[in-house]
Structure 1
Amino acid sequence: MSLTVFDKIISDRGSKYAVSGGPATTRAEAGALLDDLKRSKRFAKATHNTWAGILSGEPVKEDDGESGAAQIILQMLERAGLTDHVVIVTRWYGGKHLGGDRFRHVVDAVRHYLAETGR
C-alpha cells in the first residue's frame, strides 16, 4: 500500500488537520490504508479520520463521527474524476466548535491533497 500523508496543513481554534490518501479498489483496501495511517500513534489518537473514495465504480464513504464530511470528500473526488483512490481527512479536535468552518477545512484539505499529488 502506498499512503501519502500531508500533516499539520490547517490549524483553527485548536483543531488541527491532515490529509492522506492512496490507491484502493475495494473497501478492504481502503481499510488497509486507514490501518496503515493509524499505525502512527498520532493518527490513531485523532478525533476523526473521515474518508471517501470511488472504488471500482462504487462511492464509498465513512464520516467517523464528523457528520457530513465524507460526502464533501466524495463530491470533490467525483468532480476531480479520481477513482480507485481513497482520501482521508484527519482532524484533532481542539476544544472549540468550528461550525461550518469545519466543512471549509475539509474542502481545503482535499484541495491540498489533489494539488500536491498532481491529481
Structure 2
Amino acid sequence: MRQLRGVISDRGSSYAVSGGAVRSRADVEAFLKELKRDKKFARATHNTWAVLLADGTALKGDDGESGAGMVILRMLEREGLSDHVIVVTRWYGGKKLGGDRFRHVQDCVRAYFEDRAA
C-alpha cells in the first residue's frame, strides 16, 4: 500500500491519497479495510475510490462525496492503469469547497501517478 498524506489543504479540509494492486472486488474491500485500520483514515469524512479491473470491470465508491469516484475512475482509464485501486481521503474542515473538491481529487490522483512513476 502506497500512501501520500497531506497532499492538499484548503479552507480547513485536508486530503491524502492511497493506492495498491488489486484483482477483484474482494481485494478492494480488503484494501479499504486495511486502510481504515489506521484510525485517522477510519475517521475521515470521505474515502472515495475507484479501480478498473483487467477484465474491464469498473468499480467505484463515492463514500458521500458524490461524483468523486467517477473522477478517479476516468483518470485511471486515461492512464491505462488496471488492477490498481486509488483512494482519495478527505477530512472535512468545516467549509464547503464547491467544485474545487473535484479539482483536489484530480490533483491527489495526479500526485499519486507521479509518485508511482518516480
Common fold by TM > 0.5: yes
Matched to 1:85, the amino acid is: H
Matched to 1:23, the amino acid is: A
TM-score, normalised via structure 1 length: 0.96
- Indicate the residue corresponding to 1:47 in structure 2: 45
Greater mean alpha carbon deviation, residues 47-56 or residues 103-112: 47-56
- Indicate the residue corresponding to 1:75 in structure 2: 74
- Segments of 5+ residues of structure 1 without an aligned counterpart are none
Percent of aligned pairs sharing the same letter: 61
- Indicate the residue corresponding to 1:14 in structure 2: 12
Q: Helix, strand or coil for the counterpart of 2:65?
A: coil
Instruction: Find the aligned partners of 1:92 and 1:27 in 2 and give their Cα distance.
Output: 25
Q: Helix, strand or coil for the counterpart of 2:117?
A: coil
Q: Helix, strand or coil for the counterpart of 1:28?
A: helix
Q: Helix, strand or coil for the counterpart of 1:117?
A: helix
Q: Helix, strand or coil for the counterpart of 1:11?
A: strand
Instruction: Find the aligned partners of 1:35 and 1:16 in 2 and give their Cα distance.
Output: 21
Q: CA deviation at 1:25?
A: 1.1
- Segments of 5+ residues of structure 2 without an aligned counterpart are none
Structure 1 segments of 4 or more deviating over 2 A? none
Instruction: Find the aligned partners of 2:111 and 2:32 in 1 and give their Cα distance.
Output: 19
CA RMSD of aligned residues (A): 0.9
Instruction: Find the aligned partners of 2:92 and 2:29 in 1 and give their Cα distance.
Output: 22
Q: CA deviation at 1:101?
A: 0.2
Q: CA deviation at 1:113?
A: 0.3
TM-score, normalised via structure 2 length: 0.97
- Indicate the residue corresponding to 1:108 in structure 2: 107
Matched to 1:38, the amino acid is: K
Instruction: Find the aligned partners of 1:71 and 1:5 in 2 and give their Cα distance.
Output: 20
- Indicate the residue corresponding to 2:22 in structure 1: 24
Instruction: Find the aligned partners of 1:107 and 1:30 in 2 and give their Cα distance.
Output: 20
Q: Helix, strand or coil for the counterpart of 1:95?
A: coil
Q: Is it true that 1:36 corresponds to 2:31 in the alignment?
A: no
Matched to 1:19, the amino acid is: V
Matched to 2:90, the amino acid is: R
